[in-house]
C-alpha cells in the first residue's frame, strides 16, 4: 500500500514491494522526479528526506554528507542482497 508523506512541505510516496521499500518525489522544487529503493521503510523515508533537503539547498551539499549517505545506502543494499536474495526460493 502506498503511503503519502510530507517533509518540509514536499510530498513523497513510500511503498513496499518484494521485500524492498521504494520512494518517489515528483519534481521537488523544480528539479526532475526522483525515485529510490531501500531495505527498510525508515531508510526509504530518510533517503527521500535527504533528497528534498538537497533540492531545497541553495548551496552544494558537502561531499562528506553525500558520500556518507551513499555509503550507508549501499551498505543497506548489500545487506539486503546477501540476506534476502541469497535465500533459496
DSSP secondary structure letter of residue 8? T
2-42: pLDDT as tens digits: 789 998 888 899 999 988 999 998 875 566 788 899 999 99
First to last CA, the chain: 24
Which pTM value belongs to this model? 0.61
For residue 21, how far is the Cα from the chain centroid? 9
Amino acid at each position: 500500500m502506498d503511503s503519502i508523506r510530507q517533509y518540509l512541505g514536499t510530498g513523497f510516496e513510500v511503498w513496499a514491494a518484494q521485500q524492498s521499500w521504494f520512494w518517489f518525489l515528483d519534481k521537488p522544487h523544480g528539479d526532475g522526479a526522483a525515485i529510490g529503493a531501500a531495505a527498510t521503510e525508515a531508510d526509504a523515508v530518510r533517503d527521500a528526506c535527504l533528497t528534498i533537503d538537497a533540492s531545497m539547498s541553495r548551496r552544494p551539499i558537502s561531499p562528506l554528507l553525500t558520500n556518507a549517505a551513499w555509503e550507508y545506502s549501499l551498505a543497506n543494499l548489500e545487506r539486503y542482497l546477501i540476506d534476502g536474495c541469497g535465500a533459496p526460493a
